[in-house]
Amino acid sequence: MLYDKLKSYKESGIYPFHMPGHKRNDIVNDGILPYNIDLTEIHGFDNLHNACGCIKEIEKKAEKLYCVNRTFLLVNGATGGILSSIRAMTNFGDKIIVARNCHKSVYNAIELCGLNPEYILPDYDEKYGVFTSVSPHKLELLLTKNPETKLVIITSPTYEGVMSDIKTIADICHRHGAMLFVDEAHGAHFQFSDKFPNEAVKCGADVAVVSLHKTLPSLTQTALLLTNNLELSEKLQENLSIFETSSPSYILMSAIEKCLDFISDNKSDFEAYTNRLSDFYNDTKSLKNILILYNDKSFLENCFDYDFGKIVISSAETDISGAELGKILREKYKIETEMSYTDYVIAMTSVCDTDEGFGRLKNALFEIDNSLIKIEKNYDDYNFSEIPERNFNSFQKNSFNSEKIMFKNAQGRVSLEYIWAYPPGIPLIVPGEVITDKLINQINILLENNIQINSTKNSMPDYIYTAEND
Protein backbone atom coordinates (compact mmCIF):
# COMPACT_ATOMS: atom_id res chain seq x y z
CA MET A 1 0.00 0.00 0.00
CA LEU A 2 2.71 2.54 0.99
CA TYR A 3 4.96 1.48 -1.89
CA ASP A 4 2.07 1.83 -4.36
CA LYS A 5 1.22 5.28 -2.96
CA LEU A 6 4.85 6.35 -3.40
CA LYS A 7 4.88 5.13 -7.01
CA SER A 8 1.60 6.88 -7.73
CA TYR A 9 2.78 10.11 -6.16
CA LYS A 10 5.96 9.98 -8.24
CA GLU A 11 3.84 9.95 -11.39
CA SER A 12 1.22 12.50 -10.20
CA GLY A 13 2.94 15.64 -11.47
CA ILE A 14 2.73 17.33 -8.03
CA TYR A 15 5.64 19.72 -7.51
CA PRO A 16 7.45 19.13 -4.18
CA PHE A 17 7.81 22.35 -2.19
CA HIS A 18 8.86 20.22 0.76
CA MET A 19 11.74 18.07 2.02
CA PRO A 20 13.92 16.28 0.94
CA GLY A 21 16.06 18.82 -0.84
CA HIS A 22 16.70 16.64 -3.91
CA LYS A 23 13.05 17.29 -4.92
CA ARG A 24 12.77 13.75 -6.25
CA ASN A 25 15.41 14.41 -8.92
CA ASP A 26 17.94 11.67 -9.70
CA ILE A 27 21.05 13.81 -9.22
CA VAL A 28 23.42 11.02 -10.30
CA ASN A 29 21.29 9.98 -13.29
CA ASP A 30 21.91 6.25 -12.90
CA GLY A 31 18.54 5.12 -11.56
CA ILE A 32 20.08 3.32 -8.59
CA LEU A 33 19.12 5.62 -5.70
CA PRO A 34 15.31 5.93 -5.42
CA TYR A 35 15.16 9.72 -5.21
CA ASN A 36 11.78 9.82 -6.92
CA ILE A 37 9.94 8.03 -4.08
CA ASP A 38 11.81 9.68 -1.19
CA LEU A 39 9.20 11.79 0.60
CA THR A 40 8.43 13.33 3.97
CA GLU A 41 5.24 13.41 6.08
CA ILE A 42 3.08 15.18 3.49
CA HIS A 43 -0.72 14.97 3.29
CA GLY A 44 -1.97 11.42 2.83
CA PHE A 45 1.25 9.64 3.76
CA ASP A 46 0.70 9.08 7.49
CA ASN A 47 3.24 9.65 10.29
CA LEU A 48 5.39 6.92 11.82
CA HIS A 49 5.05 8.43 15.32
CA ASN A 50 1.25 8.62 15.12
CA ALA A 51 0.39 5.97 12.55
CA CYS A 52 -3.24 5.77 11.53
CA GLY A 53 -3.16 5.28 7.74
CA CYS A 54 -0.84 3.48 5.32
CA ILE A 55 1.93 3.06 7.92
CA LYS A 56 -0.57 1.62 10.39
CA GLU A 57 -1.52 -0.93 7.73
CA ILE A 58 2.11 -2.07 7.54
CA GLU A 59 2.17 -2.50 11.32
CA LYS A 60 -1.01 -4.59 11.15
CA LYS A 61 0.49 -6.73 8.41
CA ALA A 62 3.55 -7.35 10.60
CA GLU A 63 1.40 -8.16 13.62
CA LYS A 64 -0.47 -10.79 11.62
CA LEU A 65 2.68 -12.37 10.21
CA TYR A 66 4.52 -12.44 13.56
CA CYS A 67 1.37 -13.37 15.57
CA VAL A 68 1.83 -10.54 18.10
CA ASN A 69 -0.51 -7.91 19.50
CA ARG A 70 1.62 -4.86 18.71
CA THR A 71 4.38 -4.06 16.26
CA PHE A 72 6.39 -0.88 15.70
CA LEU A 73 8.39 -0.17 12.55
CA LEU A 74 12.06 0.63 13.15
CA VAL A 75 14.08 2.63 10.63
CA ASN A 76 17.10 3.19 12.89
CA GLY A 77 17.79 -0.54 12.98
CA ALA A 78 17.27 -2.79 15.99
CA THR A 79 19.44 -0.34 17.95
CA GLY A 80 16.62 2.21 18.09
CA GLY A 81 14.25 -0.45 19.35
CA ILE A 82 16.72 -1.66 21.98
CA LEU A 83 17.28 1.83 23.39
CA SER A 84 13.55 2.61 23.37
CA SER A 85 12.49 -0.69 24.93
CA ILE A 86 14.99 -0.67 27.78
CA ARG A 87 14.07 2.91 28.72
CA ALA A 88 10.34 2.07 28.51
CA MET A 89 10.76 -0.97 30.76
CA THR A 90 12.87 0.62 33.52
CA ASN A 91 13.30 3.67 35.73
CA PHE A 92 16.57 5.44 36.53
CA GLY A 93 18.64 3.44 39.03
CA ASP A 94 16.78 0.14 38.53
CA LYS A 95 18.55 -3.14 39.04
CA ILE A 96 18.65 -5.25 35.87
CA ILE A 97 20.25 -8.56 34.86
CA VAL A 98 22.07 -8.57 31.53
CA ALA A 99 23.68 -11.38 29.58
CA ARG A 100 27.33 -10.38 29.20
CA ASN A 101 27.30 -11.16 25.45
CA CYS A 102 24.74 -8.48 24.60
CA HIS A 103 25.36 -5.98 21.81
CA LYS A 104 26.92 -2.62 22.69
CA SER A 105 23.58 -0.86 22.10
CA VAL A 106 22.29 -2.62 25.24
CA TYR A 107 25.25 -1.22 27.19
CA ASN A 108 24.56 2.24 25.75
CA ALA A 109 20.98 1.97 27.02
CA ILE A 110 22.25 0.95 30.47
CA GLU A 111 24.45 4.04 30.59
CA LEU A 112 21.85 6.45 29.21
CA CYS A 113 19.13 5.17 31.55
CA GLY A 114 21.36 5.11 34.66
CA LEU A 115 20.75 1.43 35.32
CA ASN A 116 22.52 -0.85 37.78
CA PRO A 117 23.44 -4.05 35.92
CA GLU A 118 24.16 -7.47 37.30
CA TYR A 119 25.79 -9.56 34.57
CA ILE A 120 25.13 -13.19 33.80
CA LEU A 121 27.61 -15.14 31.71
CA PRO A 122 26.09 -17.53 29.19
CA ASP A 123 27.69 -20.95 29.14
CA TYR A 124 30.90 -21.01 27.13
CA ASP A 125 32.33 -23.58 24.74
CA GLU A 126 36.08 -23.38 25.33
CA LYS A 127 36.94 -25.60 22.39
CA TYR A 128 35.43 -23.24 19.83
CA GLY A 129 35.51 -19.97 21.78
CA VAL A 130 31.76 -19.40 21.50
CA PHE A 131 29.19 -18.34 24.10
CA THR A 132 26.32 -20.80 24.14
CA SER A 133 23.01 -20.58 26.03
CA VAL A 134 22.00 -18.64 29.13
CA SER A 135 21.37 -21.14 31.92
CA PRO A 136 17.83 -20.83 33.35
CA HIS A 137 19.14 -22.30 36.63
CA LYS A 138 21.89 -19.67 36.96
CA LEU A 139 19.42 -16.94 36.09
CA GLU A 140 16.98 -18.10 38.77
CA LEU A 141 19.78 -18.07 41.36
CA LEU A 142 20.73 -14.55 40.32
CA LEU A 143 17.11 -13.34 40.48
CA THR A 144 16.72 -14.88 43.94
CA LYS A 145 19.88 -13.06 45.03
CA ASN A 146 18.64 -9.79 43.47
CA PRO A 147 14.87 -9.73 44.18
CA GLU A 148 14.60 -6.03 43.21
CA THR A 149 15.47 -6.82 39.56
CA LYS A 150 13.07 -5.09 37.16
CA LEU A 151 14.30 -6.37 33.81
CA VAL A 152 16.31 -9.24 32.31
CA ILE A 153 18.02 -8.71 28.95
CA ILE A 154 19.41 -11.52 26.82
CA THR A 155 20.48 -12.06 23.22
CA SER A 156 18.89 -15.02 21.46
CA PRO A 157 19.94 -15.98 18.86
CA THR A 158 23.53 -14.88 19.30
CA TYR A 159 25.68 -13.78 16.38
CA GLU A 160 26.65 -17.46 16.05
CA GLY A 161 23.00 -18.56 16.04
CA VAL A 162 22.90 -20.04 19.55
CA MET A 163 19.50 -19.99 21.25
CA SER A 164 18.51 -19.84 24.90
CA ASP A 165 15.40 -21.41 26.40
CA ILE A 166 13.22 -18.31 26.18
CA LYS A 167 10.04 -20.00 27.41
CA THR A 168 11.63 -21.25 30.63
CA ILE A 169 13.55 -18.00 31.12
CA ALA A 170 10.38 -15.92 30.63
CA ASP A 171 8.52 -18.04 33.18
CA ILE A 172 11.35 -17.59 35.69
CA CYS A 173 11.50 -13.82 35.13
CA HIS A 174 7.75 -13.36 35.56
CA ARG A 175 7.70 -15.55 38.65
CA HIS A 176 10.29 -13.20 40.19
CA GLY A 177 8.43 -10.05 39.11
CA ALA A 178 10.86 -9.09 36.33
CA MET A 179 10.17 -8.44 32.66
CA LEU A 180 12.16 -10.05 29.84
CA PHE A 181 13.57 -8.22 26.83
CA VAL A 182 15.16 -10.31 24.05
CA ASP A 183 17.51 -8.92 21.44
CA GLU A 184 16.33 -11.22 18.65
CA ALA A 185 17.86 -9.10 15.90
CA HIS A 186 19.26 -12.12 14.07
CA GLY A 187 16.01 -14.11 14.27
CA ALA A 188 13.61 -12.16 12.03
CA HIS A 189 13.10 -15.27 9.87
CA PHE A 190 12.14 -17.69 12.66
CA GLN A 191 8.41 -17.21 12.25
CA PHE A 192 8.33 -18.46 8.68
CA SER A 193 9.45 -22.08 8.92
CA ASP A 194 9.03 -24.71 11.62
CA LYS A 195 12.64 -25.73 10.92
CA PHE A 196 13.76 -22.64 12.84
CA PRO A 197 13.40 -21.98 16.60
CA ASN A 198 10.30 -20.27 17.96
CA GLU A 199 10.16 -16.47 18.03
CA ALA A 200 10.82 -14.89 21.46
CA VAL A 201 7.50 -13.10 22.09
CA LYS A 202 5.66 -16.29 21.19
CA CYS A 203 7.73 -17.97 23.92
CA GLY A 204 6.77 -15.39 26.56
CA ALA A 205 9.26 -12.53 26.20
CA ASP A 206 7.64 -9.19 27.02
CA VAL A 207 9.38 -7.37 24.16
CA ALA A 208 11.74 -8.38 21.34
CA VAL A 209 13.39 -6.69 18.39
CA VAL A 210 14.04 -8.38 15.04
CA SER A 211 16.20 -6.97 12.24
CA LEU A 212 14.49 -7.60 8.93
CA HIS A 213 17.57 -6.51 7.02
CA LYS A 214 19.78 -9.16 8.60
CA THR A 215 18.04 -12.33 7.46
CA LEU A 216 15.11 -11.24 5.27
CA PRO A 217 14.90 -9.28 1.99
CA SER A 218 14.74 -5.73 3.29
CA LEU A 219 16.95 -2.64 3.28
CA THR A 220 19.64 -1.92 5.86
CA GLN A 221 18.30 -0.24 9.04
CA THR A 222 14.86 -1.84 8.78
CA ALA A 223 13.64 -3.73 11.84
CA LEU A 224 10.58 -4.40 13.98
CA LEU A 225 9.77 -4.08 17.68
CA LEU A 226 7.37 -6.83 18.79
CA THR A 227 5.28 -7.22 21.94
CA ASN A 228 2.15 -8.84 23.31
CA ASN A 229 2.24 -6.54 26.35
CA LEU A 230 -0.30 -3.87 25.38
CA GLU A 231 0.21 -2.09 28.73
CA LEU A 232 3.73 -1.25 27.52
CA SER A 233 2.62 0.06 24.12
CA GLU A 234 2.25 3.71 25.12
CA LYS A 235 5.65 3.74 26.85
CA LEU A 236 7.26 2.07 23.87
CA GLN A 237 5.72 4.63 21.51
CA GLU A 238 6.82 7.48 23.79
CA ASN A 239 10.42 6.27 23.81
CA LEU A 240 10.52 5.50 20.12
CA SER A 241 9.68 9.17 19.62
CA ILE A 242 12.86 9.95 21.58
CA PHE A 243 15.29 7.49 20.03
CA GLU A 244 13.91 7.09 16.51
CA THR A 245 14.30 9.85 13.97
CA SER A 246 11.47 12.36 13.56
CA SER A 247 12.16 12.25 9.79
CA PRO A 248 11.76 8.55 9.03
CA SER A 249 12.67 7.31 5.56
CA TYR A 250 9.63 6.40 3.49
CA ILE A 251 11.94 4.32 1.33
CA LEU A 252 12.86 2.22 4.38
CA MET A 253 9.26 1.93 5.55
CA SER A 254 8.14 0.85 2.08
CA ALA A 255 11.00 -1.69 2.09
CA ILE A 256 9.52 -3.16 5.28
CA GLU A 257 6.16 -3.37 3.54
CA LYS A 258 7.61 -5.08 0.46
CA CYS A 259 9.55 -7.50 2.69
CA LEU A 260 6.35 -8.48 4.49
CA ASP A 261 4.58 -8.88 1.15
CA PHE A 262 7.39 -11.14 -0.04
CA ILE A 263 6.99 -13.32 3.05
CA SER A 264 3.22 -13.56 2.54
CA ASP A 265 3.46 -14.34 -1.17
CA ASN A 266 6.45 -16.71 -1.18
CA LYS A 267 6.00 -19.11 1.72
CA SER A 268 7.18 -22.04 -0.37
CA ASP A 269 10.55 -20.30 -0.81
CA PHE A 270 11.28 -20.91 2.88
CA GLU A 271 10.86 -24.66 2.40
CA ALA A 272 13.33 -24.54 -0.48
CA TYR A 273 15.69 -22.45 1.66
CA THR A 274 15.66 -24.86 4.61
CA ASN A 275 16.16 -27.77 2.22
CA ARG A 276 19.26 -26.05 0.81
CA LEU A 277 20.56 -25.60 4.34
CA SER A 278 19.93 -29.24 5.26
CA ASP A 279 21.70 -30.42 2.12
CA PHE A 280 24.66 -28.14 2.86
CA TYR A 281 25.04 -29.49 6.42
CA ASN A 282 24.76 -33.09 5.27
CA ASP A 283 27.26 -32.60 2.47
CA THR A 284 29.85 -30.91 4.70
CA LYS A 285 29.88 -33.61 7.39
CA SER A 286 32.75 -35.26 5.51
CA LEU A 287 35.12 -32.28 5.86
CA LYS A 288 38.30 -33.57 7.51
CA ASN A 289 39.77 -30.48 9.19
CA ILE A 290 37.28 -27.66 8.92
CA LEU A 291 34.10 -28.20 10.94
CA ILE A 292 30.65 -26.73 10.43
CA LEU A 293 29.79 -26.08 14.07
CA TYR A 294 26.23 -27.39 14.05
CA ASN A 295 27.47 -30.69 12.65
CA ASP A 296 29.34 -31.27 15.93
CA LYS A 297 27.16 -33.21 18.39
CA SER A 298 29.40 -32.30 21.34
CA PHE A 299 28.88 -28.59 20.61
CA LEU A 300 25.14 -29.05 20.28
CA GLU A 301 25.02 -30.63 23.74
CA ASN A 302 25.98 -27.21 25.14
CA CYS A 303 23.17 -25.37 23.32
CA PHE A 304 19.47 -25.28 24.06
CA ASP A 305 18.78 -24.80 20.36
CA TYR A 306 20.35 -23.16 17.33
CA ASP A 307 19.57 -21.35 14.09
CA PHE A 308 21.05 -23.42 11.29
CA GLY A 309 20.66 -20.43 8.98
CA LYS A 310 23.93 -19.23 10.52
CA ILE A 311 26.71 -21.31 9.00
CA VAL A 312 29.54 -21.19 11.55
CA ILE A 313 32.71 -22.53 9.93
CA SER A 314 35.32 -23.49 12.52
CA SER A 315 39.06 -23.60 11.89
CA ALA A 316 39.72 -24.35 15.58
CA GLU A 317 41.51 -27.63 14.85
CA THR A 318 43.45 -26.45 11.80
CA ASP A 319 46.66 -24.59 11.10
CA ILE A 320 44.88 -21.36 10.05
CA SER A 321 42.85 -18.78 11.96
CA GLY A 322 39.30 -17.71 11.25
CA ALA A 323 40.63 -14.44 9.83
CA GLU A 324 42.90 -16.37 7.45
CA LEU A 325 40.01 -18.59 6.39
CA GLY A 326 37.87 -15.54 5.71
CA LYS A 327 40.66 -13.99 3.65
CA ILE A 328 41.07 -17.13 1.54
CA LEU A 329 37.32 -17.29 0.87
CA ARG A 330 37.31 -13.62 -0.10
CA GLU A 331 40.45 -13.41 -2.23
CA LYS A 332 40.59 -16.84 -3.88
CA TYR A 333 36.92 -17.78 -4.11
CA LYS A 334 35.21 -14.35 -4.21
CA ILE A 335 33.03 -15.24 -1.21
CA GLU A 336 32.61 -12.48 1.38
CA THR A 337 31.46 -13.78 4.75
CA GLU A 338 29.66 -11.87 7.49
CA MET A 339 32.35 -12.18 10.11
CA SER A 340 35.82 -13.62 10.67
CA TYR A 341 36.91 -14.20 14.25
CA THR A 342 39.81 -15.95 15.98
CA ASP A 343 38.96 -19.49 14.92
CA TYR A 344 35.73 -19.32 12.98
CA VAL A 345 33.93 -17.62 10.13
CA ILE A 346 30.20 -16.90 9.97
CA ALA A 347 28.35 -17.15 6.66
CA MET A 348 24.90 -15.60 7.05
CA THR A 349 22.23 -17.06 4.83
CA SER A 350 18.71 -16.03 3.88
CA VAL A 351 15.72 -17.14 1.84
CA CYS A 352 17.26 -15.21 -1.06
CA ASP A 353 20.40 -17.38 -1.26
CA THR A 354 20.67 -19.66 -4.27
CA ASP A 355 21.75 -23.20 -5.04
CA GLU A 356 24.72 -21.70 -6.88
CA GLY A 357 25.74 -19.71 -3.79
CA PHE A 358 25.57 -22.71 -1.46
CA GLY A 359 27.43 -24.79 -4.02
CA ARG A 360 30.25 -22.25 -4.34
CA LEU A 361 30.71 -22.12 -0.57
CA LYS A 362 30.66 -25.91 -0.21
CA ASN A 363 33.14 -26.48 -3.03
CA ALA A 364 35.47 -23.78 -1.68
CA LEU A 365 35.46 -25.32 1.79
CA PHE A 366 36.34 -28.78 0.47
CA GLU A 367 39.22 -27.36 -1.58
CA ILE A 368 40.54 -25.39 1.41
CA ASP A 369 40.03 -28.36 3.73
CA ASN A 370 42.32 -30.53 1.61
CA SER A 371 45.16 -28.03 2.06
CA LEU A 372 44.96 -27.82 5.86
CA ILE A 373 46.67 -29.67 8.69
CA LYS A 374 44.89 -30.68 11.90
CA ILE A 375 46.59 -29.25 15.01
CA GLU A 376 45.78 -28.46 18.65
CA LYS A 377 45.56 -24.86 19.83
CA ASN A 378 45.59 -23.06 23.18
CA TYR A 379 42.14 -21.58 23.63
CA ASP A 380 42.73 -19.98 27.03
CA ASP A 381 44.52 -17.05 25.36
CA TYR A 382 41.27 -15.57 24.10
CA ASN A 383 38.73 -16.93 26.53
CA PHE A 384 36.51 -13.99 27.47
CA SER A 385 34.26 -15.98 29.79
CA GLU A 386 35.01 -13.80 32.81
CA ILE A 387 33.34 -10.64 34.06
CA PRO A 388 35.86 -7.88 34.91
CA GLU A 389 35.91 -6.32 38.36
CA ARG A 390 33.67 -3.25 38.46
CA ASN A 391 34.69 -0.03 40.22
CA PHE A 392 31.60 2.02 39.31
CA ASN A 393 28.61 1.96 36.95
CA SER A 394 29.03 3.20 33.38
CA PHE A 395 26.71 6.20 33.77
CA GLN A 396 29.06 7.56 36.48
CA LYS A 397 32.11 7.72 34.18
CA ASN A 398 32.03 11.51 33.70
CA SER A 399 32.55 11.99 37.43
CA PHE A 400 36.15 10.79 37.20
CA ASN A 401 39.29 12.48 35.93
CA SER A 402 40.24 11.06 32.57
CA GLU A 403 43.79 10.20 31.55
CA LYS A 404 44.83 8.92 28.12
CA ILE A 405 47.52 6.28 28.48
CA MET A 406 49.06 3.56 26.32
CA PHE A 407 46.86 0.48 26.38
CA LYS A 408 49.78 -1.84 27.00
CA ASN A 409 50.41 0.05 30.29
CA ALA A 410 46.76 0.17 31.43
CA GLN A 411 46.86 -2.82 33.78
CA GLY A 412 45.08 -1.98 37.06
CA ARG A 413 43.47 1.19 35.68
CA VAL A 414 39.71 1.67 35.33
CA SER A 415 38.45 1.99 31.78
CA LEU A 416 36.44 5.06 30.81
CA GLU A 417 35.72 3.60 27.39
CA TYR A 418 33.94 0.63 25.89
CA ILE A 419 36.25 -1.67 23.95
CA TRP A 420 34.76 -4.13 21.51
CA ALA A 421 35.61 -6.32 18.54
CA TYR A 422 33.54 -5.51 15.47
CA PRO A 423 31.83 -7.57 14.42
CA PRO A 424 30.14 -8.74 16.63
CA GLY A 425 30.02 -5.49 18.66
CA ILE A 426 29.99 -7.07 22.14
CA PRO A 427 31.96 -5.03 24.72
CA LEU A 428 35.07 -6.70 26.09
CA ILE A 429 35.21 -4.10 28.83
CA VAL A 430 32.76 -1.42 30.00
CA PRO A 431 33.42 2.00 31.57
CA GLY A 432 33.96 1.49 35.28
CA GLU A 433 35.65 -1.90 34.92
CA VAL A 434 39.25 -2.69 35.79
CA ILE A 435 41.71 -3.51 33.01
CA THR A 436 43.80 -6.63 33.67
CA ASP A 437 46.96 -8.06 32.14
CA LYS A 438 44.87 -10.93 30.84
CA LEU A 439 42.50 -8.57 29.00
CA ILE A 440 45.43 -6.69 27.46
CA ASN A 441 46.92 -10.00 26.30
CA GLN A 442 43.61 -11.23 24.93
CA ILE A 443 43.01 -8.06 22.93
CA ASN A 444 46.55 -8.18 21.56
CA ILE A 445 45.86 -11.72 20.35
CA LEU A 446 42.70 -10.51 18.61
CA LEU A 447 44.72 -7.78 16.91
CA GLU A 448 47.34 -10.31 15.84
CA ASN A 449 44.50 -12.27 14.24
CA ASN A 450 43.46 -9.14 12.29
CA ILE A 451 40.27 -8.68 14.32
CA GLN A 452 39.10 -5.07 14.28
CA ILE A 453 39.13 -3.52 17.76
CA ASN A 454 37.15 -0.35 18.41
CA SER A 455 36.68 1.92 21.41
CA THR A 456 34.32 4.73 22.28
CA LYS A 457 36.77 7.53 21.57
CA ASN A 458 38.61 5.71 18.77
CA SER A 459 41.76 5.63 20.89
CA MET A 460 42.36 1.89 20.53
CA PRO A 461 44.43 -0.11 19.90
CA ASP A 462 47.29 2.16 21.00
CA TYR A 463 45.67 4.24 23.75
CA ILE A 464 42.81 4.07 26.22
CA TYR A 465 41.09 6.68 28.39
CA THR A 466 41.19 5.57 32.01
CA ALA A 467 40.79 6.65 35.62
CA GLU A 468 42.70 5.61 38.73
CA ASN A 469 41.53 2.50 40.52
CA ASP A 470 40.63 3.88 43.95
Mean pLDDT for all residues in the chain: 95
- pLDDT of 246 over the 90 cut: yes
Residue 291's beta-bridge partner residues?
A: 314
Of 321, 317, 320, nearest to 451 (Cα)? Answer: 321
pLDDT, residue 58, reads 98
pLDDT 10s digits, 327-365 = 999 999 999 999 999 999 999 999 999 999 999 999 999
Average pLDDT over residues 3-10: 92
Q: Where are the domains of the chain?
A: 2-265, 267-377, 388-467
- pLDDT of 142 over the 80 cut: yes
pLDDT, residue 21, reads 87
Class of the CATH-defined domain 388-467:
alpha beta
Give the whole-angstrom CA distance, residue 166 versus residue 204: 7
- pLDDT of 127 over the 90 cut: no
Residue 225's beta-bridge partner residues?
A: 72, 209
**What is the C-alpha R_g of the chain?**
23
- pLDDT of 17 over the 70 cut: yes
Average pLDDT over residues 435-459: 93
Give the whole-angstrom CA distance, residue 318 versus residue 86: 42
- pLDDT of 37 over the 70 cut: yes
CATH number of 2-265: 3.40.640.10
CB 310 within 8 Å of CB 389: no
- What DSSP string runs through 26-41? -TTSSS-S-GGG---S
Reply yes or no on domain 267-377 having CATH 3.40.50.2000. Answer: no
pLDDT, residue 27, reads 80
The verdict on whether omega for the bond into residue 461 sits within 30 degrees of 0, i.e. cis, is: yes
- pLDDT of 379 over the 80 cut: no
In terms of DSSP H, where are the helices of 157-300? 166-175, 212-215, 233-243, 250-265, 267-283, 297-300
Please give the share of the chain, as a percent, with pLDDT higher than 90.
89
The pTM of this model reads 0.95
Label residue 296 by pLDDT band (50, 70, 90).
very high
pLDDT, residue 28, reads 86
